[in-house]
Amino acid sequence: MKIVVIGGSGLIGTKLVNRLRKQGHEVVAASPKSGVNTITGEGLTEALAGAQVVVDVANAPSWEDKAVLKFFETSGRNLLAAEKAAGVRHHVALSVVGTDRLLESGYFRAKMAQENLIKASKIPYTIVQSTQFYEFVGAIAQFSTVGQTVHLPPALAQPIGSDDVAAAMADVAVGPPVNGTIEIAGPDRVPLDKLVGRFLTATHDPREVVTDAHARYFGIEVNDQSLTPGKNARIGPTGFEGWLSSMPRK
């Protein structure tokens, strides 16, 4: 099977490409680095020729409201049009758990626009909504830092490891389209403040977490339902503590 991975040089894309190739599939790791650009359309026709499946795991280079919306709308339209012309039979996209609950954020409004384009296309699809990656916890801490303190709410999160995300995406890519959404998450539900505090301790970071029910997550007010999946989510096997213990030590 020929599978094109858009964003094939990123964190999830690299892992996904390697996993699919090991399974014996013909995989194109498509990104601007390889001459495939979904914004300009460069290389799309050639990359998609003969492809049965396209997996879009690309992310926007800027999260500024207008820029991120322009990225996902332009990329989505160009990619779906090229897929229709190439006769692609399954479009798989990586999105975020809680996107429809976090529309106060321009980033999540842009992800919703991407999802709506996919649903409106005539191409069979599967949208995989993932919770936050373990690898993203450091960025959460950085965004929420004031001086030497990190201000976070105690809202529940259920993060997942990038290896488990890649495994789920690979399974979906080689399966039939569901024409709907699948949620994926890690096995542990942890309050955001405790999650980041544990990460800082494990990485010997001297910053202190301050629990504040009114603190915002990337500018959004969140509760226990905002960042957690529903009952039928696919649960990855890697717990947060197991991931922390496998991190390279400096």
Residue 78's identity, in one-letter code, is N
Give the model's pLDDT for residue 92: 98
pTM of the shown model: 0.95
What phi and psi, each to the nearest 5 degrees, are found at residue 150?
-115, 115
Instruction: Please give the tally of structural domains in the chain.
Output: 1
Tokens 């990329």 — which residue? 75
Q: In this structure, what CATH number is given to the domain that contains residue 184?
A: 3.40.50.720
Question: For every one of its 250 residues, what pLDDT tens digit does the chain have, with 9 covering 90 and above?
Answer: 999 999 999 999 999 999 999 999 999 999 999 999 999 999 999 999 999 999 999 999 988 999 999 999 999 999 999 999 999 999 999 999 999 999 999 999 999 999 999 999 999 999 999 999 999 999 999 999 999 999 999 999 999 999 999 999 999 999 999 999 999 999 999 999 999 999 999 999 999 999 999 999 988 999 999 999 999 999 999 999 999 998 876 5
| Cα–Cα distance measured from residue 10 to residue 16, given in angstroms and rounded to the nearest whole number | 10
pLDDT on residue 248: 76
Please report the pLDDT score of residue 249 as a whole number: 63
Residue that is written with structure tokens 């030590």 in the block: 249
- 145, 206 contact by CB (below 8 A): no
Q: Which domain holds residue 112?
A: 2-246
DSSP letters for 168-225: HHHHHHHS---SEEEEEE-S--EEHHHHHHHHHHHTT---EEEE-TT--BTTB---TT
